[in-house]
Amino acid sequence: MGQKIARGDALVLAHYYAPDAVQAAADFVGDSFALAQKAVASDKPVIVFCGVTFMGESAKILCPEKTVYLPAPDAHCPMADMASEEEILHMRRTVSDLAVVVYVNSSARLKAHADVVVTSANAVRVVSHLKEKNIYFIPDRNLGAFVAAQLPEKKFYFGHGCCPIHDATTVSEVEAAFSAHPEALLLAHAECPEAVRSRAAFVGSTAGMIAFAERSDAREFLVATEAGTLYELGRRCPGKRFFPTRADFLCADMKKITPAALENVFAGGGTPVEVDEEIAQRARRALMRMLELAK
């Protein structure tokens, strides 16, 4: 066991997909973009990040002077490795006037090759500011297609990655949910396939989905994203009803972040997140550029 961490020294950040009890214990709950912004703005020396590894890595890269802990260091987003450095180098060699845009759900190693990083909350805005005509968007082909549809002036090349949980959303399960709740509006995460996104009243990030539900006059919503989001939807929208499009819309990695794992960090059982310095320096440029262009 290492040294205990005083609660007052730490900012506890949690993603909407973390278990309800973990969200309830956090100082701030948000989407990937808002969590990165909060990490940067914090004056606490320690960040305890209740998210998957790419989130903790990004916080460490953006805040090298802070000590960052992941309560579940083995909670790893499978999409983070669904692109390769070789593919990026090949694209850079063969396509001119190219910007490499790397979704934040990626390893630090991939971010080090990025011209800019994006999250689902800011991808359209950030890419719209790039001067390059050609965009290589990795790893998420679904988010990439969503962004491309809104920026017809650019030419997109896509990676082959996806979130296995969102990508598994089918039109037939959405149609079944609409049959059970005909008055409901569909909220879809941008990682869902196009056939699902096209039926949605709102497509975007988790925070965007929550904000849409909050300001909408509708009373019922179908939710096509990880079930943890239902906790904040219920908290922020009393009186409205939310139905997941699938009973087991769960990210097993996010569910590794238990209250006991969080307690273990404060008891001194955590290992600080480390990122290779050369990779961190290059990835920091791409992350900082995102924060600038997303303003």
Residue 253 sits in the site that holds ligand SF4 (CB under 6 A):
yes
Residue 122 sits in the site that holds ligand 13P (CB under 6 A):
no
Residue 119 sits in the site that holds ligand 13P (CB under 6 A):
yes
Residue 205 sits in the site that holds ligand 13P (CB under 6 A):
yes
User: Considering CB distances under 5 to 8 angstroms, the limit depending on partner class, which of ligand 13P, ligand SF4, none binds residue 42?
Assistant: none
User: Considering CB distances under 5 to 8 angstroms, the limit depending on partner class, which of ligand SF4, ligand 13P, none binds residue 120?
Assistant: ligand 13P
Residue 172's φ and ψ, nearest 5 degrees, are -70, -35
Site residues (CB under 6 A) for ligand SF4, limited to 152-181: 163, 165-166
3-state secondary structure the chain: CCCCCCHHHEEEEEECCCCHHHHHHCCEEECHHHHHHHHHHCCCCEEEEECCHHHHHHHHHHCCCCEEECCCCCCCCHHHHCCCHHHHHHHHHHCCCEEEEEECCCCHHHHCCCCEEECCCCHHHHHHCCCCCEEEEECEHHHHHHHHHHCCCCEEEECCECCHHHHCCCHHHHHHHHHHCCCCEEEEECCCCHHHHCCCCEEECHHHHHHHHHHCCCCEEEEECCCCHHHHHHHHCCCCEEEECCCCCCCCCHHHCCHHHHHHHHHHHCCCCCCCHHHHHHHHHHHHHHHHHCC
Residues 6+ apart with CB under 8 A from 152: none
x/- site string to ligand SF4, residues 63 to 82, per CB under 6 A? --------------xxx---
x/- site string to ligand 13P, residues 52 to 91, per CB under 6 A? ----------------------------------------
x/- site string to ligand 13P, residues 153 to 192, per CB under 6 A? ----------x--x----------------------x-x-
User: Considering CB distances under 5 to 8 angstroms, the limit depending on partner class, which of ligand SF4, ligand 13P, none binds residue 58?
Assistant: none
Residue 23 sits in the site that holds ligand 13P (CB under 6 A):
no
Least distance (Å) from ligand 13P to the CB of residue 205?
3
Kindly tell me which residue out of 122, 142, 206, 245 binds ligand 13P, with binding defined by CB under 6 A: 206
Kindly tell me which residue out of 31, 57, 232, 253 binds ligand 13P, with binding defined by CB under 6 A: 31
Kindly tell me which residue out of 26, 251, 265, 287 binds ligand SF4, with binding defined by CB under 6 A: 251
Binding site for ligand SF4 (CB under 6 A): 17, 52, 77-79, 105, 163, 165-166, 191, 226, 251, 253-254
